[in-house]
Amino acid sequence: MEPRFSCTACGKCCHGWLPLTLKDAVAHAGRFPLAMVWTPVRSNAKSYDLATRLGQTVRLPNRKTVAVLVQPTAYLPPSYPCPELRADNLCGIHADKPSRCRTMPFYPYRDEKDQADLLIPRKGWQCDVSAAAPVVYSNHAILDRADFDRERGELLEQAPVMRTYVDYILKYMPWTLNDLAKMAAKPTGGNLVTSLSSFLTATRRPDAKALAAAQAPLMHALAERTRNDPALVDYHRSYSGWAKEMDSLARRP
Amino acid sequence: MTSCPCCSDRSFDECCGPILAGAPAPSAEALMRSRYTAFVRHDLDHVERTHAPEIREDFNRAEAERVADECDWQRLEVLRATEDGDAGMVEFLIHFRRDGLDMRHHERGVFRREDGNWLYVSGEVNPKGEPRRVVKVGRNEPCPCGSGKKYKTCCGA
């Protein structure tokens, strides 16, 4: 049976973390609060080879090798809707929404032939997978592949920058390696989050000051919004700290 | 008289004060102490200008300012300091509180003197001790106890 899929605009996938290509993160810096999300990919994982091309290969203290993916991410709590999700559940920036949103439900951090499970709606999602929906994936190939290819292309293009960043963090925050090892040892994996300020410093972005100026008000607003929510204590601490960092970067001569 | 934040038991004006004001640090240890004091006093300009040129652009000033702001600096302990000409090493322990937790930062910092000014070059966090070397003694080799006999007829018997 060939998988069928059609989006019903239920808005459920427009919540929480949104991994962006670097290009999209920069283009939407005035819209999304950004952080860098790390994912170790074990060498026995299906997507390992691809991950070595999209990210950095790192040797852990236990001598195992993992591929590390770093995604610039619109960093929102899972319960928070995308700031551009309208009241009618449609996208407020449909014409220039990020690649990640366009490619859904496919995911170019994984091989094209390994996408079938992504077409199964997650709990609570109202994707149409009935006979009324069109076939979108056949013989392990994506039928309309333009968005997938564009996002994959951007990821390949940014890979050298991401490697520079991984090397920088492992040099100046060497304990990150132990955190990666712990996550890689768990069957469920895990993520690590680092700041945009470290990325801007490591990659010497000439537009760092402007990006920080765009980010600062977003971080302040989210710090305020998460202030009294006991479930979001960690988010609140992150936003408050990053707000200070963005203020400081934006002030730099 | 204010006592120096670096825990030297001297006054600030006789210890880190002049170095923060721009005087050259007399030793790698003095520079390290002054950089700690700079964090305590939120004087990140001093931290930035005492970085070796090759790491200066890597310095995340924004994050350092946040760290200075969020940490309650409690104590600096210099564990070991050595100098050899223009090269210096200082191993230190910083005790601080952050987010309500007691934390320690243990680092072995490498310093270099350039034009009479000590600079911070790199640091190893949670440094390992000197590697322990195990030497295997052959049965027919002289015994390491110094007896002059072969190992197999002495301690290795």
Q: Which helix (H) or strand (E) holds A70?
A: strand A65-74
Q: Does the CB of B60 have a partner CB in chain A at under 8 Å? A: yes
- Are the beta carbons of A73 and A20 closer than 8 angstroms? yes
pLDDT exceeds cutoff 90 at B155 = no
3-class SS of residue B113: strand
ipTM associated with this complex: 0.85
**B57 min Cα distance to partner chain A (Å):** 7
pLDDT digits (tens, 9 = 90+) for A84-104: 999 999 999 999 999 999 999
Q: Report the distance separating Cα B145 and Cα B148, nearest Å.
A: 8
* Residues A34/A7, Cβ–Cβ less than 8 Å: no
Mean pLDDT (whole number) for A25-32: 97
pLDDT at B143 over 90: no
Interface of A with B in 111-170 (CB under 8 A): 168
Answer yes or no: are the C-beta atoms of A225 and A219 closer than 8 Å: no
pTM of the model: 0.88
A contact test, residue of B47, B58, B65, B66 with most A CBs within 10 A: B66
Give the nearest partner residue to A241 out of B57, B60, B66, using CB atoms.
Answer: B66
- Mean per-residue pLDDT of chain B: 91
pLDDT of B52 reads: 96
Gap between the Cα atoms of A113 and B86, Å rounded:
59
Percent of chain A with pLDDT over 70: 100
pLDDT at B147: 87
Q: Chain B within 8 Å of A204 (Cβ-Cβ)?
A: yes
A252/B61 touch (CB, cutoff 8 Å), yes or no:
yes
Cβ–Cβ under 8 Å, residues B107 and B124: yes
Nearest to A175 among B61, B65, B125 (CB): B125
Chain B contact for A201 (CB, 8 A cutoff): yes
Please tell me the predicted confidence (pLDDT) of residue A243: 97
Reported confidence tier of residue A2, pLDDT bands at 50, 70, 90: confident
Strand partners, B12: none
Domain assignments of chain A as residue spans, ordered by start: 18-205, 206-253
pLDDT digits (tens, 9 = 90+) for B51-110: 999 999 999 999 999 999 999 999 999 999 999 999 999 999 999 999 889 999 999 999
Do B63 and A212 lie within an 8 Å CB cutoff?
no
| Chain A residues inside the 8 Å CB shell of B58 | 168, 171-172, 201-202
> Nearest CA of chain B to the CA of A126: how many Å?
41
Provide the pLDDT confidence category of residue B132 given band limits of 50, 70 and 90: low
A138 three-class SS = strand
pLDDT above 90 (res B2):
no
| pLDDT tens digits along A73-85 | 999 999 999 999 9
Using a CB-CB cut-off of 8 Å, the residues of chain A touching B62 are 197, 201, 212, 244-246, 248-249, 252
